[in-house]
Structure 1
Amino acid sequence: MKRIGFYDREKEVAEFMNILSSEPSLITFVYGPINSGKTTINHLIK
């Protein structure tokens, strides 16, 4: 798989990784406009 960078998204990536690395207590979902990278980030963490 080709590695894709997320430019100018350091804050969002850090928050996303913090949520994923913490102990689960709530359901977490990702939402946003079309072509905003939701599926791409999902594939990167698999």
Structure 2
Amino acid sequence: MITLLDGPGRRPGDGDEEDWLALLALAALTLAALVALHRLTGRGPR
């Protein structure tokens, strides 16, 4: 993800709000995947 955000052609300070949006979207997808995995495995609370 860092490589995507700091790839060639990016200038420092260019599109910082887009970077935050991409990181927030990645966090949301990760959380959704963890919840789905938890439901698929059928494990109850510990």
Structure having the higher Rg: 2
TM-score normalised to structure 2 length:
0.34
TM-score normalised to structure 1 length:
0.34
Higher relative contact order (CA 8 A, sep 6+): 2
Name whichever structure is richer in helix by fraction: 2
